[in-house]
Structure 1
């Protein structure tokens, strides 16, 4: 029974932004699993609203039930009520986009964004999942994870997102050491070409890293010489956000798997 549940949950993880739809046979091949088992799992999820089947292509995609659960999580985090106004003030003061990346096992997930008021700006979609080794928002989290989690992420393989993504394990470890020592991360073009990112980690009241707050925009607007001044503003807002999290007694690391 537990094996069946594990297979079913693993199957859901294949529905990503990059691969949002799957046919039965192609998914069975990708998972190296029996066609009949995959079909049974898909139809079960469909019957409960977690997946829907496109009647024209016969492929499956995520259903509205998962969107409902996502909305519940955002409400429980009280992002819109408490954290989002702080992000808006940071965006207004700096003129750049601000986004909140939450730790979900070995990935980051964007849960809120306050867009820059400028015409040329960096935009990211809420719900977007990203690898923890690519870009300031993710590396600011990864740097403060336990060493065994960092090594597990590296062991899965480092794939380039852009030409500047750090995919050499030794270089990545060095970067994480510097970020951990400095307490913040800065990158240009590691996740999106010609886009800078400045990120600070967010910690629970138990001292666990749970998220990061990131300022991002076109590279030309943020040379490294300007970073120290911006960091002072970001740290003040970071402290406000962490204070809110601590008042809510928020102290878990989202998606942390036992033994993972």
Structure 2
């Protein structure tokens, strides 16, 4: 550290290293967000998107490749996430108490309702899927663990947003509410009305707002401080998730959310899931 006017200043080498680290993380982040197809991201596109020249990008990827956070296709030269990124993700999930506490509840709920069950956490303005239990005999949902989805058009997002601070709602609206389907709530006033209904009944509904043939119902999960920690949801095709069934499942999912919340130390009421009937698909 250099000193100037009696105050410690970061040395130029420290600043350069910090800048390089930020740019390397930007490279990693861009590949994470744009390599879902499995093909990866070409060097030219990566350089253009980040405003860097190709040689700089190649230099920044060296340690990422060495640690297997990135992988580079031998034939195309395109970059994609490496198995080191998977190890980091698994290490994170293994230390997430929420997930370990919720997992048996997810499995039990899935067996009862026969639909896909998700556990999500908040990452404004999105949600992130941290666990998923599905019936392999049913049509698979497009979601996957580690992926993100907009909060404003998902049941899980609205379940958390309904109990988050006012400024968070404003942030979500400011980030944009692009209509994804014909039924997406793309207006802030519509969203706020929906959040009010969610608070009143204790669970949220995604009525084909994120996927045109999928309905979803979700409930919040609270931690020991009383703050929203996550959301639990059930998703299925509209042919099985009728409007009437959604209402029945709503109270069931809300009660499971309360049970998980209690295990996390939250002071919530609610009856056991065992006392709640689950309707069969219509």
Q: State the TM-score, normalizing by the size of structure 1.
A: 0.83
Q: Find the counterpart in structure 1 of residue 29 from structure 2.
A: 13
> Number of paired residues?
247
1:144 Cα deviation from its structure 2 partner:
2.6
Report the alpha carbon displacement of residue 99 of structure 1 after superposing the two structures with TM.
1.0
The answer for the alignment partner of 2:206 in structure 1 is 187
Task: Tell me by how many angstroms 1:57 deviates.
Answer: 0.8
Taking structure 1 as reference, are residues 198 and 31 closer, same or farther at Cα in structure 2, changes over 3 Å only? same
CA contact (8 A) 1:110 1:128 kept: yes
Question: Which residue pairs with 2:60 in the alignment?
Answer: 41
CA distance in 1 between counterparts of 2:145 and 2:137 reads 19
Q: Residues 135 and 165 of structure 1 are in contact (CA less than 8 Å); yes or no, is this contact kept in structure 2?
A: no
| Unmatched runs of 5 consecutive residues or more in structure 2 | 1-14, 267-282
Q: Hey, what's the Cα distance between the residues in 2 that align with 1:6 and 1:206? A: 33
Match of 1:257 in 2: none
Q: Which residue of 2 aligns with 1:245?
A: 264
Q: Give the unaligned 5+ runs of structure 1.
A: 248-260
Per the TM alignment, residue 61 of structure 1 is displaced from its structure 2 partner at its CA by 0.6
Which string of whole-angstrom CA distances, capped at 9 and with x for unpartnered residues, describes residues 179-210 of structure 1?
Answer: 23433211221112211100001122112222
Inter-partner Cα distance in structure 1 for 2:26 and 2:200: 36
Mapping of 1:1-260 within 5 angstroms? 1=15, 2-16=18-32, 19-20=35-36, 21-78=40-97, 81-116=100-135, 119-120=138-139, 122=141, 124-246=143-265
RMSD value, Cα = 2.5
Give the whole-Å Cα distance in 1 for the aligned partners of 2:89 and 2:68.
14
Please say if residues 96 and 117 of structure 1, whose CA atoms lie closer than 8 Å, have aligned partners that are also in contact: no
SS in 1 for 2:52: coil
Deviation at 1:135, TM superposition (A): 1.6
Which structure is richer in relative contact order (CA contacts within 8 A, separation 6 or more)? 1
**2:7 maps to what in 1?**
none
Give the direction of change, closer, same or farther, for the CA distance of 1:71–1:169 in structure 2 (3 Å limit): same
Q: Deviations over 1:36-58 (max 9, x none)?
A: 43332222311222111111111
